[in-house]
Chain A
Amino acid sequence: MSFKIVVLAKQVPDTRNVGKDAMKADGTVNRAALSAIYNPEDLNALEQALRLKSKIEGATVHILSMGPARAAEIIRESMYRGADGGYLLSGREFAGSDTLATSYALACAIRKMGKVDLIICGRQAIDGDTAQVGPQVAEKLGFPQITYAEEILDLTDNKITVKRRLERGVEVVKGPLPMLITVNGSAPECRPRHAKLTMKYKHAATPSEKQEAGNDYTDFYDTHPYLNITEWGVNDIEHDIQWLGLSGSPTKVKQIENVVFTAKESKRLTASDFEIESLMKELIANHTIG
């Protein structure tokens, strides 16, 4: 029985280690100064997908990523960890997409894949922090969705049971397939790259990458079909051009401000048990901790 899992993953600038030159003078992100990484919560999503794959016979995990040619690295990174392959959605028509245009393009690509049983993605990407793309893709495909998942607990009779991490506790919910799930950063970390899979898939490439390399590897890729990463351009998916890229993006950036945090008020405590206890109580009461 086939069971197709698609993981939506994004290559993002590493905003966790921001240096002085992270922003350009005009307030936009200086991508050249930040290394490109696998969006952390998408890795949590991949782990959930791989766990499911090991439990369901015949299940496959494929990555769908929209981005420039170098985003194929995300797909390879996934294959090193156990994914079967992936699709890169690439082209200048997609440039400038906000979450609406992105989810439209992703939904079009998923429709082209045929029957998809489960879509799993990270809650949000660290470069935008919107948490909108997953839910929007689900809406566009007409899939039910479970957000903030921490663990997929069970899958029987086309019903999936998921533990959600909410602000003040957990919730266990059940829903029918096909389904879209967004995964929280509190979910288990993704497994490491596997040595043999890394050596096996390190030459995996999209057609543009093969062209770029300029080597005549045709025979090699014909005899090793698992090394071919699917690459779709705008003409490979059924779409309405007005919903793609800049024209499909109603979000307009008006202004970006560089905010520097400064302490406004501070409180001085002595090291007495009483003062520490009252601080703890205060922090719990205003939900800073707990």
Chain B
Amino acid sequence: MNFFNDNPTIKFQLSHPLMQKIVTLKERNFAEKDKYDYASRDFEDAIDNYEKVLEIIGEISADIIAPNAESVDHEGPQVENSRVIYARGTQENHDALIQAGVYGITLPRQYGGLNFPFVVYVMSGEMVARADAGFANIWGLQDCAETISEFASDEIKAEYLPRVCEGQTCSMDLTEPDAGSDLQAVQLKATYNEKDGVWYLNGVKRFITNGDAQIKLVLARSEDGTNDGRGLSYFVADNKHDHTVLVRRIENKLGIKGSPTCELVFNNTPAKLVGTRRMGLIKYVMSLMNGARLGIGAQSVGLSAATYNEALAYARDRRQFGKAIIEFPAVYEMVSVIKAKLDASRALLYETTRFVDIYKAYEAIENERKLEADEKAEYKEYSRLADALTPILKMFTSEYANQNAYDCIQVHGGSGFMKDYACERLYRDARIMTIYEGTSQLQVVAAIRHVTTGNYLKQIRDYDAQPIKPEFSSFRKRLQIMTNLYANAVARVNEAKNQEYLDFQARRLVEMAGHIVMSYLLIIDASRDTEDLFRKSAEVYLNYGEVEVRRHAAFIKTFNVENVDIYKVQ
């Protein structure tokens, strides 16, 4: 089995027209082709390299990680002497990926990385998550290294990045008992010792995924007497086994049990400052979180893919009333909607990732030389698009992962409620995805300004202008009507000029934009596709999204500002 080769919908994304620009930027016109024997020589060679490496990860995902998922879920990690010991299967998965030399997949070659774009990293994350969503965290935390690569000094880069490429794991130590969604309240203290020239960290972190990682990125209060975000700086700590970071406990969770969630005590832990003081939350953690949200998108899509495969296999196999249950409308509709939500999630995931790739590539180039005016303009444009799409990506993919896991159990009927089938694990594993790295509610907070500033509408109009197959022109007409409903709803909410009212309707507006964006993306993909991979999902999703948009439009149309009061709870 191979989770890359058996899924043409992933491979399809590598043929997107923007890949040419992404590869050229990432490879700096293939400047390293004679410097490294594994560097890509041209565009075709690069795509071929991506596919070859994705095949390796697809094989490990199918043959090692997926078969281990059940035992990892049962065993979970342990704490011994304040250190985390992974479940046997977790260690085996991790070792196989190290042996395959695939950690550091996006990092520069000079540090031992593969210098692949995020699109490929996200594909790998999706496959790993399809195999075991909990393990996808350990694989995905290599993303922490991005902030080192972007913001740390050359000395720190040289010290840490090669270790990430060798497979040392990372953790992002942000949250504390009293600082969850509100990271401005972080209290862990960073003190600079003049004599040693070293920062020392003291305090407690809670809910830290893979908290016993070798390389830790820590948000800490470096400015005495401050109590907001501007007093926080960003540090990297080497979790050498010298007992300055203790794992006090690991949480007993509903799902993703293989991924250890730790409570940590920092006890004079030496650390190095990344970037400049006071910019910890405002700049570096924001960047870290945006990367992590892409990672959760990949994790959610991978989990949705698993729910679809499980639901489909069971519905084909299970016979009732003399036939396979997939022949009943109530069942095949459920399975088709799971698939449509999966394909819509994936379309949004790779669209967002392409935008991230382009602006990150320009960001890296800017570290080396000044950008030309047209480059600068593109950098800004793609940065804006990535910023707009990331929150709706995180929200929709994670919500759909949950809805799909729910329906997957429903397709299984009573059997799905038993521990005998994978769907119950998928259901538990999905639950955290709408919560961590910013809840769905906080994604709405990040997304709403793109509603009010018109960024989504602008992008929707842009999609509307793209060429599509003639057979989809009736879909486009329906989407234009949906777009008008959205624009009218936004205008109506804006007219009230009431912040609380806007906050109240925000999720509905953001969802309307999301449904329209995903419907367009599926139609555009279906128009470019020659293997008929997306035609069905494009129509099923449009039917689904259209009703959702109309539902929200109706709600907003008949709702007045004062109606908010009825929802208030004291």
A interface residues (Cβ-Cβ under 8 A, vs B): 191-200, 202, 224
Contacts and interface: CB of A to CB of B under 8 A. Distances in A.
B100 A199 contact: no
B100 A195 contact: yes
Given A200-B38, A202-B48, A195 B56 contact: yes
Given A200-B37, A200-B38, A202-B52, A195 B99 contact: no
Nearest to B109: A196
Contact of A192 (B38, B99, B114): B99
A193 B63 CA distance: 13
Nearest to B99: A191
B53 A199 contact: yes
B49 interface: yes
B444 interface: no
Contacts of A193: 56, 59, 100
Contact of A195 (B37, B39, B101): B101
B27 to A, nearest CB: 13
Given A194-B100, A195-B100, 15 more contacts: A192-B56, A193-B59, A194-B99, A194-B101, A195-B38, A195-B52, A195-B101, A195-B102, A196-B101, A197-B38, A198-B52, A198-B53, A202-B49, A202-B52, A224-B37
A202 B38 CA distance: 9
A196 B52 contact: no
B361 interface: no
Interface of B: 37-40, 48-49, 52-53, 56, 59-60, 96, 99-102, 114
Contacts of B100: 191-195
Nearest to B49: A199
B79 to A, nearest CB: 29
A192 B52 contact: no
Contacts of B39: 199
Contacts of B53: 195, 198-199
A198 B101 CA distance: 10
A191 B59 CA distance: 12
A194 B59 CA distance: 12
A195 B102 CA distance: 6
B114 A196 contact: yes
A199 B38 contact: yes
A8 to B, nearest CB: 23
A197 B101 contact: yes
Contact of A196 (B38, B40, B59, B60): B38
A202 B59 CA distance: 17
Contacts, number: 42
A48 to B, nearest CB: 15
4 A-B pairs closest in CB distance = A199-B38, A192-B100, A196-B38, A195-B101
B7 to A, nearest CB: 18
Contacts of B38: 195-197, 199-200
Nearest to B54: A195
Nearest to B97: A192
Interface centre among B37, B48, B60, B96 (most CB of A within 10 A): B37
A224 B33 CA distance: 13
Contacts of B56: 192-193, 195, 198
Nearest to A196: B38
Contacts of A202: 48-49, 52
Contacts of A196: 38, 101, 114
A197 B37 CA distance: 9
Contacts of B52: 195, 198-199, 202
Contacts of B114: 195-196
Contacts of B40: 199
A224 B56 CA distance: 24
Contacts of B49: 199, 202
Contacts of A197: 38, 101
Contacts of A224: 37
A149 B31 CA distance: 47
Question: Considering residues A197, A198, A202, which has the most beta carbons from chain B within 10 angstroms of its beta carbon?
Answer: A198
A192 B59 contact: yes
Among B39, B52, B56, B100, max chain A CB count under 10 A is at B100
A196 B56 CA distance: 11
B101 to A, nearest CB: 4
Contacts of A194: 99-101
A195 B48 CA distance: 12
A44 to B, nearest CB: 15
Contacts of B99: 191-192, 194
Contacts of A195: 38, 52-53, 56, 100-102, 114
A195 B104 CA distance: 11
Contact of B60 (A192, A198, A199, A200): A192
Contacts of B59: 192-193
Contacts of A191: 99-100
A224 B52 CA distance: 20
Nearest to A202: B52
B415 to A, nearest CB: 21
A139 B34 CA distance: 46
A198 B40 CA distance: 12
B442 to A, nearest CB: 36
8 contacts: A192-B56, A194-B99, A195-B100, A199-B38, A199-B40, A199-B53, A200-B37, A224-B37
A193 B37 CA distance: 16
B99 to A, nearest CB: 5
Nearest to B103: A195
B329 to A, nearest CB: 33
B112 to A, nearest CB: 9
* B40, B53, B60 interface centre (most CB from chain A within 10 Å): B53
